[in-house]
Amino acid sequence: MRDMYNVFHLAIPARDLDEAYNFYVKGLGCKLARRYSDRITLDFFGDQLVCHLSNEIDPNPKMYPRHFGITFRERRQFDNLYKLAKQRELPFFQDLMVRFEGMVEEHLTFFLIDPSNNLLEFKYYHDERMMY
């Protein structure tokens, strides 16, 4: 288990801050902490995500080697997020699938893509020890 008082932070590029706000706050339901002229900072599922205004946008995003997201301990949280993404019609890069089926590493996963081509992956493992 991780320390509940520390925070992971991740900085990513955004070609437009309003777009990023719409995707992360209005879409994914993250909270806006601060807005500057060149970036917005978000409470992303309890960790910090910073979207920096930038033109270094990946024109051809692929699953590997860059993506980020949350692995949930409870199935209900994963299901709720999937339902939200579908209902609010967030753009999927890869819809729900099972990986490593039948193995102890088996997990559910789906990928979203934000307006600046950053990829987000959300996962749920049947065996919580496989989360790392």
Cα 49 from Cα 99, distance rounded (Å): 27
Find the binder of its own copies among 17, 25, 90, 96 (CB under 8 A): 25
State which of residues 59, 64, 89, 101 lies at the interface with its own copies (CB under 8 A): 64
* CA separation for the pair 72, 77 (Å, rounded): 7
Judged by CB under 8 A, the residue of 17, 23, 61, 126 near its own copies is 126
Among 23, 24, 72, 110, binds its own copies (CB under 8 A): 72
Contact flag: residue 75 with its own copies (CB under 8 A) = no
Q: How many residues does the chain have?
A: 132
**73: Cα separation from own chain's centroid:** 15
Residue from 16, 18, 83, 95 that binds its own copies (CB under 8 A)? Answer: 83
Nearest-angstrom CA–CA distance, 131 and 125: 7
Backbone torsion region of residue 70, taken as left when φ is above 0, otherwise alpha when ψ lies between -120 and 50, otherwise beta = beta
Q: Where does this chain bind its own copies (CB under 8 A)? A: 1-14, 25-26, 29, 31-35, 41-43, 45-48, 52-54, 56, 64-74, 77, 80-81, 83-84, 87-88, 103-104, 121, 123, 126-132
